[in-house]
Amino acid sequence: MGLFEKYLSVWVALAIGAGVLLGTAAPELVQQIAKLEFASVNLVVAALIWVMIYPMMLKVVPRAIAKVGRRPKGLILTLVINWLIKPFTMAGLAILFFKFVFAPYVPADDAAHYIAGMILLGVAPCTAMVFVWSNLTKGDPAYTLVQVTINDLILVFAFAPIAGLLLGVTDLFVPWDTLVLSVAIFVVLPLMAGLLTRYLKLRGGDPESKEKAVDAIAARLKPFSILGLLLTIVLLFSFQAETLLDQPLRVVMIATPLLIQGYGIFFIAYFAARLLKLEYKVAAPAAMIGTSNFFELAVAVAISLFGLASGAALATVVGVLIEVPVMLSLVAFANRTQHWFPSTQKSAGEQA
């Protein structure tokens, strides 16, 4: 495990602190960065997210999909959780808390924005960080790669329709052109760039050595991906610094359904995996994928649709705030309960 993964919560906490400090000490600078937009997409955030996502997209291996038929239960569980359960439970919890439980304490317009931000988180299942959680739970890397590959391909087509459908339950206008444009910018184009890079690098020669060349590119880009993640967190928290400091109770309110959703989805997936008698190295990553969020995409779309200072953007930022501690606690739980699941010594290639 690298230095970043080992001390992930420390780096994220430092980035959050730096963001709040920047937002309070240099608000004019933050406002100038916020104005750097094209077609409702903040250019600085877009560039940083591209830096994060492109190395992850290099790991998408379309041909790996063909191998999963030998052991499909773990993949089916992941897809059911990600696309048939998680978006709708998140929308339900968001509506329950902000249209009923917290309704007396939050203006209706703000509540609608918070619901929208949480919906965007719920419709964006994790991709890049899955490899971190899979590694921490000793997951099967080949199977995890297949799960991520298929998840990303479905994300291209499913994110906008499901997000648009669920955002319709709010009182907000959904600009479909901006929503589709955001998916194109933050999912389709990085995926195409990753696939093109693989194609150019894998043409001719020994397949194994060519695959290593692609892995080498991803390895060289990893420090920039980490830097992109941390700088994105700095910017996001600088944009929301005033709200975070002036209305900490709002942060707690937003975090409440997000925490229930995170732990609830994990245990639904984890115990379903146990009932399906999946191996631990497949069960743990399957549950982690459903629990974690592709917060880079959710944040970018929230900013594009509703603005940097919107309640929707704040809700996605709170998602970033609780993501790491929640996931690390679940990693610890999974590792302590791995004896609940069968294990085998088959190779990853046979299993995938």
Q: Which two tokens stand for residue 20?
A: 């709040």
> Where residue 76 sits, what CATH number does that domain have?
1.20.1530.20
Residue-wise pLDDT tens digits, 26-71? 999 988 987 887 766 678 877 887 887 787 677 766 666 666 667 7
Q: Is residue 28 part of a domain?
A: no
Strands, DSSP E only, in the chain?
37-38, 41-42
In a domain, 70, yes or no: yes
Integer Rg of the chain from CA: 20
* Those residues with Cβ within 8 angstroms of residue 251's Cβ, 6 or more apart along the chain or in another chain: 244, 314, 318, 321
Q: Are 136 and 1 contacting, i.e. CB atoms less than 8 angstroms apart? A: yes
The continuous run of DSSP H or E covering 165 comes out as helix 141-167
Residue 349: pLDDT above 60?
no
Calculate the alpha carbon distances from 64 to 43, 52, 241 in Å.
Answer: 34, 23, 43
Kindly tell me if the per-residue pLDDT of 193 is higher than 70.
Answer: yes
- CB within 8 A of 112, min separation 6: which ones? 98, 170, 171, 172, 311
Q: Considering the domain boundaries, does residue 31 fall inside one? A: no
- Asked if residue 99 is part of any domain, the answer here is yes
Kindly report, residue by residue over 240-272, the tens digit of the pLDDT.
788 788 888 999 999 999 999 999 999 999 999
**44 occurs within a structural domain:** no
Q: What is the pLDDT of residue 91?
A: 96
Residue 147 lies in a domain: yes
Q: What is the pTM of this model?
A: 0.77
Flag whether pLDDT at 350 surpasses 50: no
Domain that residue 110 falls in: 60-209+248-342
* pLDDT of the residue at 135: 73
- Tell me how far CA of residue 133 lies from CA of 129, 300, 330, in angstroms: 7, 23, 9
For residue 6, what pLDDT is reported? 67
CB distance 264 to 273 below 8 Å: no
Give the number of domains in the chain.
1
Question: 219 lies in a domain?
Answer: no
Q: Are strands 37-38 and 41-42 parallel, antiparallel or unpaired?
A: antiparallel
Q: What letter would DSSP give residue 185?
A: I
pLDDT digits (tens, 9 = 90+) for 123-134: 988 766 777 788
- Its sign, for the CA torsion 165, 252, 232, 57, is negative
Q: Could you tell me if residue 24 is inside a domain?
A: no
| pLDDT per residue as tens digits for the range 305-348 | 888 778 998 899 888 788 878 988 999 999 999 999 986 544 34
